[in-house]
Structure 1
Amino acid sequence: FNILLQVMDHGTLTDNNGRKADFRNVILVMTTNAGADMLSKNSIGFTQNKQAGDEFESIKRMFTPEFRNRLDATISFASLDHDVILRVVDKFLLELENQLHEKKVEASFTLKLKEFLAKKGFDPQMGARPMSRLIQDTIRKALADELLFGRLTNGGKVTIDIGIDDKIRLDFDEAKEVEPVA
């Protein structure tokens, strides 16, 4: 953090070779997970009530007074609500859907699957960072053999769902052969 002190004080940054970078017209926006550890600590018998100033106490512990005194403002973000988490799930699934389109595979995802991903792929401390790994370990893994050696080698339609046992279910829409019209 000490390297930022020079930027915040003088608007320049000098490297070991004496070259200077101009930061005079720059707005620094920094993020931190300071205080994230407090989210995981629950008191026995009590619910976790957020107290005003809790974040600043974490910032005080993490950053030196010299650094904190150069900050103009701190903004605390609220936790993501369920609807926003579902939008994050949709973003990841859209990315997968686009990759599957390149292989001529049309995929659809059930609401039950999306709810599963929202529940298992989101962590109050880490946010939605685990989502990508969860999709890799579940959906992509289930699709891999079908794409390489199975029913999706030449494309097709698949509905992706989650079973009672939290295992991915692939339901294939078998294309019916159309007889040529004479």
Structure 2
Amino acid sequence: MPILIAIIGALGAAAYWYFRMRDIGVAGRDLVNVANDVRLAARRFGFSRRSNVHPAESIEDPKVAIGGLAVAFLELDDLPSQEARIAMTRELQQATRVDLEDAEELVILGRWLMSECGGPEPAVSRLSRKLYKLGGGEQLAPLMQVLNAIGAAGNGALSDRQRGALDDIKYAFKL
């Protein structure tokens, strides 16, 4: 009887570790897929990271900066709704004149840029300055088109952090 209990215990422990390791493998594959999505989105928009330079300073396409600002502005809302995310993607598609797939990749790349900046507040400040350097005041109209769509989605009111972000954008564009 003790041998039977030991065998059942060993089988149970083996099954426990097998399923646990399998879940770790699935999580690892998911992380690789996320990193691959960011890499492919960056490649599509010609973004290449340079050594010893912050990724936000490596941006050469205003569309990438607008995508990053849109994601950061959305994340400044306390609980962004799915409706607001969809509105952001749709308006990003129209404002930057890209197809839906490219707009979704701009969102992926924008989320990565936001995380590289250390959160939404620093991302808004840094990316708005970079957007101004790239295209001057003419880039403000497409940016505001996207930000207005984000603000109008959901309950239609901006959070305090989003209003502060608009002040940062005004400062960056010297308004």
TM-score normalised by L of structure 1: 0.23
Q: More helix by proportion, 1 or 2? A: 2
